Structure 1
Amino acid sequence: MKLYFSPLACSLATRIALYEAGAEASYVEVDLKTNRTEEGADFRAIHPLGLVPALEIEGGEILAENAAVLQLVAERFPEAELAPRDPLGRARLQQWLCFIGTELHKAIYLPLLDEAAPAEVKAYALARADARLGWVARRLEGREFLLDRFSVADAYLFTVLNWSQVTPVDLKTWPALAAYHARLLARPSVARAFAEERARYVRELGRHAKGAPAAAGHATA
């Protein structure tokens, strides 16, 4: 498998899941501003929409969209127990993946991260944060993970909550969320993935400061 990613974008969740599963995979960084891979290839020839994550599997087939990619990783490595096996458990997992992707990633964080978004749009997105993040916080009170054990939904939620560091969203408003984020950051697979991508992100910022193209970490699937 080959994961096309951009540092600290939502593709970080897939890297976490792959590390958690102990999977063998290669990783190709994508500059989302130029749509070029680190080798200079045209990423739109790989995924026409130019979005990450994009996971290349057997036969060169490409799977996109975060929820789909994460569920495939969980399915490919059942011994890692990254997804429940029972029908209700799988439905709960899909519920969380859908919620994180639509109500948090797209509805709140994406407008706040978008430099081109009007102030009114940003204010509207931020106004929705309390109800949605508050709901997640209540779920996590007295719980270690979203489900009964660590799952791909936790990998995705950690990734999205991590964007609070560069937006007006303050996780301290919801102590259960702040504690959850800190707890997951101490998990070996998460710590490794975050450290590696943070280093790449810092280098990306350096290139951008020098006038070289830099990836827009929020332009993700």
Structure 2
Amino acid sequence: MVNINFWFSPGSCSLAPHVLLHAAQLPFTPHALSISRQGTQSDDFARINPKRRVPVLALDDEIITEVPAIAAAIAQLAPQQGLMGKTPFDQLRVLEWMCWLSGELHGQCFGGLFRPERFISDASQFGAIQQKARERIADCFSAIENNVSSGFAVGDALTAVDPYLLVFYRWGSRNAFAMAERYPRFTACIHGMVKHPAIVKAMADEGISL
């Protein structure tokens, strides 16, 4: 059996693959790091992932980074779970969601809100970058609102999309986006989803709540 190590930071985007590891019922060794305490910036961690970011998945000696790639790797280890979609069409939908969530909502939108210095060097313009990021995040949340129900995002069971949506819902809640009031369908989806045993376990591991 493959030896699995997983590096994460509580409440970060690494929550998504953390959930998938539990959903896949795979034994793994967790390694918690604090982003706020610069845990991902150490030289020791840089030797594992030169990008100095979590999540990181190690399968024996193979290192895998980036949420969509890690999700795919976990799904391959537990194909019976259908974590990247059970049917060929569902697999396309999962891929579609993961590309958009990773590239647009995570990298561009929340990236602009949390890390405006990645987009412009002039600190006097950070506020404008963050304001535009908030507008783009709201647009993304509206798109999610129009494409989810009280069930799972794709098909009739948990896929990689669901815990990734959970990540952004939590970030929205913690950054004054009035999630329950403005996005009731998204909220209903999340409130149903967090009862899933894999999500319960991952959130307990990380010591976080909805």
Shift of 1:115: 7.9
Shift of 1:158: 1.0
Shift of 1:9: 0.9
Q: TM-score, normalised by structure 2?
A: 0.84
Question: Which deviations, in whole Å up to 9, do the C-alpha atoms of 1:37-76 show, x marking residues without a partner?
Answer: 8xxx710011111111110012x11000110000111111
What secondary structure is seen at the aligned counterpart in 2 of 1:128? helix
After superposition, the CA RMSD in angstroms is 2.1
5+ residue gaps, structure 2, are 118-122
Alignment partner of 1:35 is 2:48: no
Alignment partner of 1:186 is 2:195: yes
Q: Which of residues 151, 155, 160 is equivalent to 2:163?
A: 155
Q: TM-score, normalised by structure 1?
A: 0.80
What secondary structure is seen at the aligned counterpart in 1 of 2:52? coil
1:112 counterpart residue number: 113
Report 1:16-35 matches (<5 A).
16-32=19-35, 33-35=38-40
**Greater RCO, CA 8 A, separation 6+:** 1
Question: Which deviations, in whole Å up to 9, do the C-alpha atoms of 1:65-109 show, x marking residues without a partner?
Answer: 110000111111012221224433221111000111122112222
Distance, in Å, in 1 between the alignment partners of 2:41 and 2:134 is 32
After the TM superposition, list the runs of 4 or more consecutive aligned residues in structure 1 that deviate by more than 6 angstroms: none
Distance, in Å, in 1 between the alignment partners of 2:75 and 2:9 is 21
CA contact (8 A) 1:162 1:181 kept: no
Q: AA paired with 1:133?
A: F
Structure 1 residues 195, 111: CA separation in 2 closer, same or farther (over 3 Å shift)?
farther
Distance, in Å, in 2 between the alignment partners of 1:35 and 1:158 is 22
Alignment partner of 1:44 is 2:46: yes
1:8 counterpart residue number: 11
Question: Which deviations, in whole Å up to 9, do the C-alpha atoms of 1:106-163 show, x marking residues without a partner?
Answer: 222233234868111110011113322111111113x511111210111211122211
**Which 10-residue stretch deviates more, 86-95 or 48-57?**
86-95
Distance, in Å, in 1 between the alignment partners of 2:166 and 2:51 is 25
1:198 counterpart residue number: 207
Report 1:137-148 matches (<5 A).
137-141=145-149, 143-148=150-155
1:218 counterpart residue number: none
